[in-house]
Amino acid sequence: MKLRYAILAMAVSSTAWLGGASAESNLATESQAMKIQVTSPAFQDGKPIPSKYTCDGEDVSPPLNWTNVPPEAKSLVLISDDPDAPVGTWVHWVLYDLPPTTAGLSEGVPKSSELPNGAKQGINDFRRIGYGGPCPPPGKPHRYYFKLYALDTMLGLKPGATKAEVEKAMKGHILAQGQLMGTYQRK
């Protein structure tokens, strides 16, 4: 009887140890996948987005900068969305096949299907190409995420792809990612 409990205890201990190693491996993978630092000179992470970049202002895209893109990256994807929208997550910007050597975007990226550097823009939930700024209903502040992904491939999708199409195409190809979150509120 004691031998049975000793074997059971060893099995549980081994399983916990292996599970712990697996969990540590998963954490290492997750931390590696979150290593891109995304910033903006227009607003700080977690702080309000100036109205210039919203439907209440000029509705131009904010300037963005990033660092720590892996050298083996073949392209970048930028997706901006609002998970607090009353109808579910609202997509504000889809940009893909951005050259991996790009270190940021200047204010007011043109709302064209292709950019001079070869990047392509998708359709947002306003049913337009390019950036569509925050425009929440009056009430509590909404969160707006600017998520950058470094991929081991070019997506090769035609201009005008949706967020869902881009996410499907990049599945299994993400080398690293990072994000910047800003808020906006209309009273």
- Residue 104 structural domain: 34-184
User: 2 with 43, same domain?
Assistant: no
Instruction: Determine the pLDDT at residue 33.
Output: 54
Instruction: Determine the pLDDT at residue 80.
Output: 98
Look up the pTM and report it. Answer: 0.82
User: 87 with 26, same domain?
Assistant: no
Half-sphere exposure in the Cβ direction for 127 (13 Å, CA):
0
| Residues of the chain below pLDDT 50 | 1-32
Instruction: Determine the pLDDT at residue 34.
Output: 55
User: 27 with 43, same domain?
Assistant: no
- Residue 166 β-bridge partners: none
Instruction: Determine the pLDDT at residue 160.
Output: 98
- Decide: 114 and 160 in contact? Cβ < 8 Å: no
Encode burial over 26-65: b for 16+ CB neighbours within 10 A, e otherwise: eeeeeeeeeebebbbebbeeeeebeeebbeeeebbbbbbe
* The dihedral sign for the CA sequence 89, 92, 95, 101: negative
The number of folded domains in the chain is 2
